[in-house]
């Protein structure tokens, strides 16, 4: 770990906005990899870490960073509107998750097998803000055999977005199209062996990206903080890679041009 940067900042603390029930990213017990990354940043800044816990629903940015209730939001798509974004520190992808005994290898979005088996997809809503795989399947007419699993879930239960991985493991669906970090983490803990494969094509119809560079979001007025966090992310990249490996986060090489389309991963 690099040297703390306390001498370069007048901050009293670092307030991070995070979801209290959203492993593998974050939870109130600070068990997620974004909790670990936030701790790394605060340590390098030489300031205490505090959290603003807020469920990641629509309006999250407005109620947190926009209103300056927190300073930092780990895990946003690079180039996200309404916030400053740091240099990307990893790139992940939507993946196909299937049981190892199902022999559903070499899947692509154009595979005819997707029309003949129960398929699960993460859903946000019935509008243009839905997940890229949901749009890609609908465009191909893969609709009648598709089951939607909300990215929000029931907060009465721990880790609600993991239901789609559970559905693959139990045989409720044959394959799930799932955001990589969520899939990798829960697939590694499933009671049956699951196979994780990147969704291809990586850019569907030139519109729907299946892979995203991931940055940290920062309040728009905090340009100095962004500069400091950029330096920390560069310096601490080996430590970041170790944390991501520990959580089984699937990764692709970072793009040379990190400008992202404004769709939700």
Beta bridge partners of 179: 94
Find where tokens 């703390």 sit.
4
Predicted pLDDT of residue 151: 87
Predicted pLDDT of residue 256: 55
Quick check: 85 and 79 in contact, CB under 8 A?
yes
Give the Cα separation of 190 and 237 in Å (integer). 29
- Whether the CA torsion 62, 68, 70, 71 is positive or negative: it is positive
Domain ranges of the chain: 6-90+212-246, 93-209
Whether the upstream peptide bond of residue 203 has omega within 30° of 0, thus cis, is: no
Could you tell me the CA-to-CA distances from 107 to 118, 131, 199, 203 in Å, in that order? 14, 19, 8, 15
Predicted pLDDT of residue 154: 74
Predicted pLDDT of residue 5: 43
Q: Which CATH architecture has domain 6-90+212-246?
A: 3-Layer(aba) Sandwich (3.40)
Give the Cα separation of 245 and 65 in Å (integer). 29
Give the Cα separation of 170 and 162 in Å (integer). 12
DSSP codes joined into one string, 44-98: HHTS-EEEEE----TTHHHHTTTTTS-SEEEEEETT-TTSEE----EEEEEEEEE
Predicted pLDDT of residue 94: 98
Find where tokens 């990307």 sit.
88
Q: Provide the whole-model pTM.
A: 0.90
Same CATH fold assignment for domains 6-90+212-246 and 93-209: yes
Find where tokens 């795989």 sit.
133
State in words which class domain 93-209 has: alpha beta
Walking along the chain (265 residues) 10 residues at a time, the average pLDDT comes out as 48 93 96 98 97 84 79 94 94 98 95 97 73 95 94 82 96 98 98 97 93 95 95 98 98 70 45
Beta bridge partners of 77: 214
- Whether the CA torsion 21, 27, 32, 35 is positive or negative: it is positive
Whether the upstream peptide bond of residue 201 has omega within 30° of 0, thus cis, is: yes
């Amino acid at each position: 770990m690099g040297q703390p940067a306390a001498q370069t900042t007048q901050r009293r603390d670092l307030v991070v906005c995070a979801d209290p029930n959203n492993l593998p990213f974050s939870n109130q017990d600070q068990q997620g990899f974004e909790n670990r990354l936030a701790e790394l940043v605060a340590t390098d800044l030489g300031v205490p870490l505090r959290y603003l816990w807020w469920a990641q629903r629509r309006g999250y940015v407005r109620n947190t960073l926009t209103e300056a209730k927190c300073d930092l939001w780990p895990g946003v798509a690079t180039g996200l509107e309404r916030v400053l974004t740091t240099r990307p520190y990893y790139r992940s992808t939507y993946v196909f998750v299937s049981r190892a005994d199902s022999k559903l290898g070499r899947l692509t979005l154009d595979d005819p097998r997707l029309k003949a088996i129960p398929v699960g997809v993460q859903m946000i809503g019935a509008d243009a803000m839905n997940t890229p795989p949901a749009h890609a399947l609908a465009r191909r007419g893969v609709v009648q055999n598709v089951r939607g699993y909300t990215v929000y879930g029931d907060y009465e239960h721990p880790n609600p977005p993991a239901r789609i991985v559970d559905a693959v493991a139990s045989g409720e669906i044959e394959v799930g199209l799932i955001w990589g970090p969520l899939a990798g983490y829960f697939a590694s803990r499933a009671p049956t062996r699951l196979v994780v494969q990147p969704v291809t094509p990586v850019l569907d119809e030139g519109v729907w990206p299946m892979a995203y560079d991931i940055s940290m979001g920062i309040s728009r007025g905090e340009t100095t903080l962004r500069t400091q966090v950029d330096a920390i992310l560069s310096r601490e990249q080996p430590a970041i890679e170790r944390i991501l490996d520990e959580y089984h986060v699937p990764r692709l090489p970072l793009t040379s041009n990190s400008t992202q389309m404004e769709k939700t991963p």
